[in-house]
Amino acid sequence: MDYLNIDHLKRIATWRKIVGAASIIMGAISIVLTLTVDPSMILSGIISIITGYLFYQTGVEASNIIASDDFTAGNVNELLNKYGKLLLIMGILTIISLVVLIPLIIVLISL
């Protein structure tokens, strides 16, 4: 795959790891804070940790491709598989958020 740009992979590897680690840390902090204030909000911290882990895994996979110098379809497909899972989970969470928030906004406006 001579047309694969290494600079793009490096950017994916770096930023996905940074964003993933930050999301995991923020999720852990959120869980600790919600346990002391409102335990019913613990779900947001768990979601943040899960998405952070998936972000981090896509960064690790990109790093593995760069380190191995093996740009075969199998390695790239593994990166795309992890990224696809991340997008699927983020999409499902977005839809759930809209389904919950839209009726809430309608109720608040009607008050």
Residue 52 to residues 1, 2, 3: CA-CA distances in angstroms?
29, 31, 29
pLDDT of residue 65: 83
Burial code (b: 16+ CB inside 10 Å, e: under 16) for 44-78 equals: ebebbbbbbebbbbbbbbbbebbeeeebeeebbee
pLDDT at 19: 93
DSSP 8-state secondary structure symbol assigned to residue 8: H
**Count of positions (residues) in the chain:** 111
pLDDT in tens, 34-63: 888 877 778 888 888 999 999 999 899 888
Mean pLDDT of each 10-residue bin along the chain, 111 residues long: 74 92 93 84 86 91 81 76 88 87 87 84
């804070």: which residue's tokens?
33
Q: Give the model's pLDDT for residue 24.
A: 95
Res 14: pLDDT: 92
